[in-house]
Structure 1
Amino acid sequence: MFADGFNCTQWYSRGMSEAGRAAPSGARADGKRKAIVEAALLAFLADGFDVSMDRIAAAAGVSKVTVYNHFDSKENLFRAVVSGQLHNALSVVEQLVESRLGDSEDVRTELVKACRAWVTALTLPDMMALRNLVVGESKRFPELGETWLEHGPNRLHEVFVTALTRLNQRGVLDIPDVELAVLQLSGLVLSPNLVYGAYGRTPGKKLADRLIVAGVDMFLGYYGTD
């Protein structure tokens, strides 16, 4: 259910709660925090954002007071769920792009690998459901959408910008506007999955991979220098 290596404490401050009071600390508190966030993810996916904090507390095996000691509102708990899931899901993509793409001698192969990891991470059923929930609640709670953007699209955008800039500097690519190019790449390889996934109809693995390979070829065909 959870991304490998899930660590809910990585993306939520241990020192102070959102209200400014001292948050619980120590190994026992970290264990309770993890249990709360894991239970909250399941509860949000099952019943949406309107699920009660009482139910989350019961599922986590703690009192509601304990939940509020760690997270002073349901909105902040949801933000911790979103940021933690995105962090774990996208870490592999980030590592591939940062460590291999910019200095690669086989840009097509490395870019296809990175895009496959990118699409896979964001099209897992739970991730799609969480994204759709964020979209549905963003009008009531704009900060939820901002959290998704910060820890998802914006985070990877900067990673790809850095790698593509390096390829520009090496003369492998000729991209006048790298910021725009990253958005174009996302549109080619990822957007079809997100659009159809919003209606419960993902393209399927074979078509998704064809979109990735063809999208990378179009991208490199347009910006490549060979």
Structure 2
Amino acid sequence: MVREVMFWSSMGNHIEDVIFKSSICATHQRQNPRESLISQKIPDRPWSKIAMDLFEFDGHQYLISVDFYSKWPEIAKLDQPNSGCVIRHLKSQLSKYGIPDEAISDHGPQFASAEFRKFVHDYEFRHVTSSPHYPQSNGQVEQMVLLEKAKDPYMAILDYRNTPLEELGLSPAQLFLARRLRTKLPVSATLLKLQNAEFVKESLKTRQARQKRNFDKHFPKSDLKPLIPGEKIMVRHNYQWIHGFVA
């Protein structure tokens, strides 16, 4: 976003240096992953595939949904952190953007209840859960953890929606709404007008491939062998290894 309004020599390095020296970023930096990155299939349209999760801010629970295609995030403050409240806010989001083909979440009780399963059945979309203790498998939402550290999560999400993605040069707002959003930061008036981009999917594939290369080259590859139905296994649950089998 800075490049759109100003420029100075070594600007990118200076900005990265400020971010890396941030005490908040240092406190919440990610642990080293154990396996190479598995890329999700890129959808053909916005809101076809979404990721869902809950996060806490200032003593309140929020629902966050992120579109895989555009990286467009939606947040909603929950009166109660239960399935019923989560479902009500999801219905509100779906009424605005349509029913997705697929929605991904963790194994939280709000998403694992019979009430939520009925909601999925009634609205006719596929619900997929990410791997326990491995949030990278639901990385679309995990990338939005920045909201937990923001003084104003709504202003933070507005700025995020307006920030161009690498390789594409387009922001989540441009991919989702075909235009940039007005914020407190200076912006060209032409960016606020509707725009179209036919190269979006190929650019997303390029961006995804670069992320996988950068991710994999920093960590030794240790991919697990494929599991076979009926196979006996050991599963780590609540920091203890227990016996199990592949369903």
Same fold (TM over 0.5): no
Q: TM-score category by the smaller chain?
A: under 0.3
The structure with the greater share of residues assigned to strand is 2
